[in-house]
């Protein structure tokens, strides 16, 4: 029976670099060669098979079995979640409900710094927990553009915001799969991620505001930034520690949105910031 080794070259760094070749090749094909995603994926797949057979000594039957499991996992639940999320989004747009969502979210504050915290961070985390796989970035970036953000900047902000939620996307699939692959109990793995990732999560709201408006913007929106950080990180860390990864993003995103809505009832920044227009009272 074949047993997988994680260090076939006797050097962990070399083995890790060889194992990363398919991923690096995939990114190279997309970013540098500008190939279509399907073509880049096929090239990366061929490289992955070669690395598995040659570098790690994986039998052909095991390679085929791993490929089959990958295809089945891609179909269920990953593709199913993505298709249903896009279907719900298009249904909301066609029925006009998406405009209601946009006006409701945008109506909490005209300040773009608050809108970034609400949409890209809190609402994006909720969508990441429910769907994942790029869906929250696409939807939240579209919302920001409709609220007056430049498209490239909106996409960049949503990508940065997603760093706080990406590890637990699509009902915690990354953590669940990691637990299955490594054999580590999911509770232990979830609690370990609290220790490792929560410090980064705490920094994300502050970073988002600074990207948009620098230190002055952070100072002017400090109550909102602190509220979002405390509520989001507290709920996410608590859910991970006591319940597991499945609801970590959904609960944290909902809690942060509710907290921002409640804060907006009693507090607003002294001046409202909008890109290109500066500050206004």
- In this structure, are residues 51 and 43 in contact, taking their beta carbons and an 8 Å threshold? no
Query: Where are the chain's structural domains?
Result: 74-276
As separate numbers, helices (DSSP H) first and strands (DSSP E) second, the chain gives: 14, 2
> Which tens digits make up the pLDDT trace of 204-223?
999 999 988 888 888 999 99
Residue from 207, 204, 188 nearest 245 by CA: 188
Cα–Cα nearest to 77, from 181, 173, 166: 173
Whole-structure pTM value: 0.71
Give the model's pLDDT for residue 272. 77
Of the CA atoms within 13 Å of residue 48, those in its CB half-sphere come to 16
Using the structure block, give the residue that is written with the tokens 């995603």.
37
Reported as a single tens digit per residue, the pLDDT across 88-133 is 777 877 887 767 766 776 667 778 889 999 999 999 999 888 877 7
Q: Please state, in angstroms and rounded to a whole number, the distance separating the CA atoms of residues 110 and 123.
A: 17
């Amino acid at each position: 029976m074949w047993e997988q080794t994680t260090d076939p070259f006797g050097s962990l760094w070399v083995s890790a670099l060889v194992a990363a070749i398919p991923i690096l090749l995939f990114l190279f094909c997309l970013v540098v060669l500008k190939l279509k995603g399907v073509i880049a994926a096929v090239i990366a797949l061929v490289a992955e098979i070669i690395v598995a057979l040659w570098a790690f000594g994986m039998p052909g039957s095991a390679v085929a079995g791993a490929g089959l499991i990958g295809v089945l996992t891609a179909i269920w639940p990953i593709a199913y979640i993505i298709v249903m999320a896009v279907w719900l989004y298009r249904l909301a747009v066609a029925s006009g409900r998406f405009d209601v969502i946009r006006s409701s979210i945008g109506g909490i504050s005209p300040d773009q710094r608050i809108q970034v915290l609400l949409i890209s961070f809190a609402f994006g985390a909720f969508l990441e927990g429910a769907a994942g796989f790029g869906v929250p970035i696409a939807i939240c970036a579209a919302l920001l553009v409709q609220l007056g953000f430049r498209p490239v900047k909106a996409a960049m902000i949503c990508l940065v915001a997603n760093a706080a939620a990406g590890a637990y996307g699509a009902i915690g699939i990354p953590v669940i799969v990691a637990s299955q692959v490594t054999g580590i109990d999911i509770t232990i793995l979830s609690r370990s991620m609290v220790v490792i990732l929560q410090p980064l999560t705490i920094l994300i709201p502050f970073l988002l505001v600074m990207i948009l408006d620098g230190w002055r913007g952070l100072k002017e929106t400090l109550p909102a930034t602190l509220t979002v950080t405390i509520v989001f990180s507290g709920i996410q860390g608590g859910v991970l520690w006591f319940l597991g990864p499945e609801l970590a993003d959904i609960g944290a995103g909902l809690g942060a949105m509710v907290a921002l809505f409640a804060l907006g009832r009693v507090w607003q920044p002294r001046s409202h910031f909008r890109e290109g227009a500066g500050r206004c009272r």
